[in-house]
Structures are given as C-alpha cells and as structure tokens.
Structure 1
C-alpha cells in the first residue's frame, strides 16, 4: 500500500523552458546613478564563455518596447565568429554600423534614430549613442559600449564587457538620458585570473597632496575675466509734438487785398 501512495514532488524535478533565470535587482551587474529609472527586474543566463543579464527599467512612455540595459561579461575564452549563439557560447555583440543599426531597429521599432558623430567617453572609455523621437515626440536614446583592455602577444586576453542601453522617456531630454551612459558603474566581476576588461585604475594627478598645487572646487575667474559694470544709457530727449506749431500756422487770417509784388488775377466773366 505504501508503494501505491502519492509520491512527494521535489523542486529539482521542475524543468523550465528557458535558461534565463530571475535574480534580485541587487545582483544586477550594472549600478545606475542616482535619479535613474528604478530597476524592476533582472534576468540572467550563463554561457560557457559569458554571463549575460537583461536589466529591466521602469517604462512610462508610449513608444513600443521596454527600457532595458543589456550587459554581458565575457571571459578570456575564444569567442565564436558566427551570428547568434553557437552551442552554449555567446557571441560578442558587434559595434560596427550595421550591427548597431540592426539592434536599434529591433529594440526601437519605427523610431528614426540619428547616431551622434560627436566623440563621447565615460570612465570606462569611448562609447556611441543615437538619439531620436518616439511616439508623441518623447525622447529616446540607444547607447552601446565595449569595454576591453588591449590584448597583445605578451599579454593574455583579459576578457570583455558589452553594454547596450535602450531608454525612452516623455519627460526627459537628450542630455538627461545621456547621463545614464556617462555615470553607470560595473557592479560585479568574474572570479577569473587576469579578468580585468577595464584595466587598472588611473594614477592620481601628480600634484595631488603636494604643496604649491591648490585645488579649487570651482574654476576661479581672473581679474581680466571679471565683467565690468555696464554704464547706464542716457535717456533720449522727448521730442515735442508739432501740433501747436501746425495749429498756429493754420490760424493765420486770409488777406482781403492783393499782396504786393504778385500779379492780379481777373475774375471770371459773368454770363448775361
């Protein structure tokens, strides 16, 4: 009878249809600056050569799609060259014009995005971005960056980080959305020997802590840069109206006799 009874089900027997798993927002591999849209969910997937996350942000616009940050940490292993996933290996996303345009069209359908030709750089190095107007004229930004320290024959591969930011906000401007790409921080690392895509932190300024090298909180204006007080302009004199002069000229009496020096004009003939 014990063999015919109901067997208890274990959680290990559950097989999900996807390899993506939800993790807590505190385990996101990207930390956002203060004032950024809140993180509402993080999904993560592991590969043989990478760990990828999709960080979902609060979305309040009407443009189709979701505000997300796609981030992937790659090991020093060789990366597949074919498009997409080869087995359980993740391909490093391209940063060429065609790859970026294809990615933007997928995540911002129907939005005309204009890539910026201005060179921009955050604390991890240069990055690219495009700006456009979504539904109702709301601001949309797409930014991409590949963080990888230089490899050489005498130096092993140090891994790489790929970041993709897609965000639309009806109350934002291009500058406010771009702040997210400037001020985000990597919030995790891989426990691998030599894994350091961002490289070592730069050395402090040579004059830091030394005498004779003052540091001011704001740039100080020199004496030549101080604006001089502007002289008050003199008021223009008010022109008197010519009404009285014209009235005096019109009020002169009409003479009743011929003026001297002028010919006399005879009157018209009278008819009988």
Structure 2
C-alpha cells in the first residue's frame, strides 16, 4: 500500500476515535459516595463507617454502608438499604431493581450467602425499632464469633396506600459479626440506625400516616413511670469527716506590738472534735486548750 494511503488511513482511524468519545457515558454501576450522602447510618458510637457504595436503577436507589469488622468470619459488616420510588429521568435507561419480598426461603438464601459457614437461628421475638417491626437471626461461628443478620421492610399499611399518597418502599438488611460481642450488643445495630434519605415528590411516604397521640397523655389517673435506664444510679459520695480549727496557745514571751499586728502570730492547728479541756487526760504531744477566763499567772491556769 502506498505511503500516502497509510497516512490517510491513520487520519480516518484517529477521527473515528475522537467521534467515539463524543458524548461518552459511564454505564450504570457502583460508585463510592461521601459518608454525608449516606441514606442510612448506624447510631453515634456504633461501628465506624468505612465507605458508602451506591447504585441507581430506573425505579430505586441502593446503598451499601460498609462498617468496621472485627471477626474471622468471611465477609464485611454492613447496612444495606434499597429505596423504591420515582427516579429522575436520567436513570430511565438503567436496570430495574427487582423487589425482594420478606419470605423465609428468600431470607435463608441471603443468610447463607452473607454469613457463610455460620448456623443462624431466626428469632421468634416480635420486636420494633423507630421504623416499625423487624426480624433477625443470630448464631456463632466455630471459632466463637457472634453473627447477626437483620431485615426490615418499611411500607405504609395496605389501607393507607393509594395511587398518589403513601407510596414507596424501603428494604433494609444488616449483617454484623464480632469476635467479642454478644447477641444483645449486636442487636443494638437494628435499634440505632437512622434513615436520612427521601424522595422529593410528596406522595412518596412509605411510613404511612402519623400515628395518633396516646389518649392518656395529660389525663389524671394515668401515671407515667421512668424506665430503669433513665434514672441515675451513681453512688452518693461519702462526706469527709468534719474537723474543727482551734488556735493553740503556748508559753511564749509577752506579746509585742509586732505580735499584735499579726507578723508573728502563731499558726492554727487542726484538732479533731471534741476539743480537750483542762484536766482531761491527753496523749503525748496533744495540745490542751486552756479553760475560759484563764489569766496568765492566775490560779485558773495552774
């Protein structure tokens, strides 16, 4: 091929490459976002947040908040949230996220995948956090590490959902393993997390209508007692023994003007109460306070 043809072919290929980059678009996938953009966070003082990975869909947004892990069980501790709602038009060409109903068979598959090798037992307790009822399973690995897998679905009641109001759905999953924690400590994660994300349209409200106020509030014959954890249990400090301060008079030369002014005033000493009186038996070295009315050289001082 002639040289000028090779040059022309190279120019055509270069132009084609530039044209291919015009309007380039990153396909849908995971991206790391700042912790301040997290849709769900553990309670203050809870496991430290390592990173937040987000993925958007045509009908939902999903985030996986990775948490500090101290365990030999394979896998990472995390809080996972899926918020189903009206997405922006720019996400129309992306994948649609399938809804995961809370069924026993589905949860069993999730637990085997997320907490491999640990026999988890589903709790039969009915429990609620600030967002409603939730469930969890707990177990220990062969090395003794405690593991918990929790789940929660937040959705308005059937009689409250309409085409325009109280729409939306939130799915939450929590996976946490710890080599030094017990079941109660791991369960605190399910009670302490906060959901901070929402969708702009007013019709999106998976929490449903506000619950009515307890009718007994403010009424008589309806005492409200504090819970045990709300009361202070600090011990009362023991007061130190009281000590009386008395001045000790010793056989010193007659006071001078300087003494009267306080320049050579005898220091006060601390003597435990009661104060010894004249004639009482005293231990060696214990000062004795003269009786009232003692005059130097008088009989009362003898």
- Which consecutive unaligned segments of at least 5 residues does structure 1 have? 5-10, 78-85, 220-272
Structure 2 stretches of 5 or more lacking a match?
Answer: 1-10, 12-20, 88-92, 229-302
Structure with bigger helix share is 2
The residue number in structure 2 matching 1:27 is 37
CA change 1:18–1:62 in 2 (3 A) is farther
How far, CA to CA, are the matches of 1:13 and 1:62 in structure 2? 46
Show the counterpart of 1:7.
none
The yes-or-no answer on 1:53 pairing with 2:63 is yes
User: Do the aligned partners of 1:47 and 1:89 also contact (CA within 8 Å) in 2?
Assistant: yes
Counterparts of 2:177 and 2:25, CA distance in 1: 36
Q: Which has the higher contact order (CA 8 A, sep 6+)?
A: 1
| Partner Cα distance (1:115, 1:189) in 2 | 30
Q: For residues 79-130 of structure 1, give each alpha carbon's deviation from its aligned partner in whole angstroms, at most 9, with x where no partner exists.
A: xxxxxxx962111222111100111111111111111122222222211110
The two structures have a TM-score, normalised by structure 2, of 0.60
**Partner residue of 2:202?**
193
Q: Does 1:176 align with 2:185?
A: yes
Bigger drift between 15-24 and 108-117 goes to 15-24
- Cα distance in 1 between the residues matched to 2:217 and 2:159: 32
The separation in 2 between residues aligned to 1:98 and 1:116, in whole angstroms, is: 15
Is 1:94–1:100's contact at 8 Å kept on the other side of the alignment? Answer: no
Paired residues in the alignment total 203
**Partner of residue 104, structure 1:** 111
1:29/1:208 Cα in 2 relative to 1: closer, same or farther (>3 Å)?
A: same
Cα 1:135–1:59 change in 2 (3 A) is farther
Cα contact 1:76–1:158 (8 A) shared by 2: no
Q: 1:245-264 residue pairs with structure 2 within 5 A?
A: none
Q: Please show how residues 13-92 of structure 1 align to structure 2 within 5 Å.
A: 19-75=29-85, 88-92=95-99
TM-score by length of 1: 0.66
CA distance in 2, matches of 1:34, 1:154: 33
Query: Shift in Å at residue 17 of structure 1?
Result: 6.6
Identify if the C-alpha distance between structure 1 residues 218 and 119 changes in structure 2 by more than 3 Å, giving closer, same or farther. Answer: closer
State the partner residue of 1:256. Answer: none
Q: Which runs of 4+ in 1 moved over 3 A?
A: 11-18, 151-154, 207-216
Structure 2 Cα separation of the partners of residues 204 and 176 of structure 1:
31
